[in-house]
A and B are shown apart, each in its own frame.
Chain A
Amino acid sequence: MGKAGSDIGYNLDALSVKINNASIIITPGTARAKIGVAVPVAFFSTRTTSNFLLASDSSPIVPDRSTNGIDFHGSASVSLKDSAYSVRIRPTDLQVVRAGPAFTGMGRQPDSGVKLQGVASRGTVELFSFIGTVLANAKSAGFTLDLGGASDVYPETNYRISLKKGRVSLKYVKAQLQDLYGSFTVNISLPPNVVDEQGQSIELLDVVLETDKSDALFGKITLARRLRMGQRFTLELATNGVFAYFPKWPFETGSSTYPDKHDCGTLSDIVRDPNRPGLTVLEGTLHFDAPQVKTASTQPSKI
Chain B
Amino acid sequence: MGAVTLTPWGLTGDIRGSGYSFVPEDQDILAGATPSVFPRAAWEQIQNAGDTHPVEPQQCPLSPPTPSPVSPVSCERFQLADLRILDMQVEKMHVCMAGMDPPQATFRYVVHFPFPSFIDLAFEDSSLDDHGLFAQAKGPIATVSLPPTEQTEQDIATNKVDQQCA
Q: Which of chain B's residues 1-45 have a Cβ closer than 8 Å to chain A?
A: 1, 3-13, 15, 29-37
B132 interface hit (Cβ, 8 Å):
yes
Closest to A157 in B: B8
- Asked whether, in the complex, the Cβ of A281 is within 8 Å of the Cβ of B131, the reply is no
How far does the alpha carbon of A295 sit from the alpha carbon of B3 in the complex, in Å? 33
- Asked whether, in the complex, the Cβ of A194 is within 8 Å of the Cβ of B11, the reply is yes
Residues in A with CB closer than 8 Å to B93 are: 233, 286
| Interface bits B118-160 vs A (CB < 8 Å: 1, else 0) | 0000000100001111110100000000000000000000000
- Contacts A230-B103, A231-B132, A292-B133 given; does A286 touch B8 at CB 8 Å: no
How far does the alpha carbon of A110 sit from the alpha carbon of B19 in the complex, in Å? 59
- Asked whether, in the complex, the Cβ of A284 is within 8 Å of the Cβ of B1, the reply is yes
Choose the segment among A15-23, A178-186, A258-266 that binds chain B (4+ C-beta atoms closer than 8 Å). Answer: A258-266
B165 interface hit (Cβ, 8 Å):
no
B side interface size, CB within 8 A: 47
How far does the alpha carbon of A291 sit from the alpha carbon of B79 in the complex, in Å? 13
User: What range describes how many residues of A lie at the interface?
Assistant: 35 or more
Closest to A158 in B: B8
B80 interface hit (Cβ, 8 Å):
yes
- Asked whether, in the complex, the Cβ of B132 is within 8 Å of the Cβ of A290, the reply is yes
How far, in Å, is A209 (CB) from chain B's closest CB?
15
- Asked whether, in the complex, the Cβ of B59 is within 8 Å of the Cβ of A271, the reply is no
How far, in Å, is A48 (CB) from chain B's closest CB?
39
- Asked whether, in the complex, the Cβ of B59 is within 8 Å of the Cβ of A285, the reply is no
Residues in A with CB closer than 8 Å to B31 are: 291
A159 interface hit (Cβ, 8 Å):
yes
Residues in B with CB closer than 8 Å to A258 are: 7-9
A293 interface hit (Cβ, 8 Å):
yes
Residues in A with CB closer than 8 Å to B98 are: 193, 262, 264, 267
Cross-chain contact of A262 among B9, B13, B94 (Cβ < 8 A): B9
How far does the alpha carbon of A235 sit from the alpha carbon of B2 in the complex, in Å? 12
Residues in B with CB closer than 8 Å to A157 are: 8
Best-surrounded residue of A256, A263, A267, A299 (most CB of chain B within 10 A): A267
Residues in A with CB closer than 8 Å to B102 are: 230
Q: Which of chain A's residues 120-176 have a Cβ closer than 8 Å to chain B?
A: 156-159
Residues in B with CB closer than 8 Å to A159 are: 8
Closest to B128 in A: A232
| Interface bits A223-242 vs B (CB < 8 Å: 1, else 0) | 00001011111010000000
How far does the alpha carbon of A256 sit from the alpha carbon of B6 in the complex, in Å? 14
How far does the alpha carbon of A282 sit from the alpha carbon of B3 in the complex, in Å? 5
Choose the segment among A69-77, A111-119, A272-280 that binds chain B (4+ C-beta atoms closer than 8 Å). Answer: A272-280
Residues of B in contact with A (beta carbons under 8 Å apart)? 1, 3-13, 15, 29-37, 59, 77-81, 90, 93-99, 101-103, 125, 130-135, 137
Residues of A in contact with B (beta carbons under 8 Å apart)? 156-159, 190-191, 193-194, 227, 229-233, 235, 256, 258, 262-264, 267-268, 270-271, 276, 278-295, 298-303
- List 25 A–B pairs whose Cβ atoms lie within 8 Å, in order of A's numbering: A156-B8, A194-B10, A229-B95, A230-B103, A233-B95, A262-B9, A262-B99, A264-B96, A264-B99, A271-B12, A271-B13, A281-B13, A285-B36, A286-B36, A288-B35, A288-B90, A290-B131, A291-B32, A292-B78, A292-B134, A293-B29, A295-B30, A299-B59, A302-B81, A303-B134
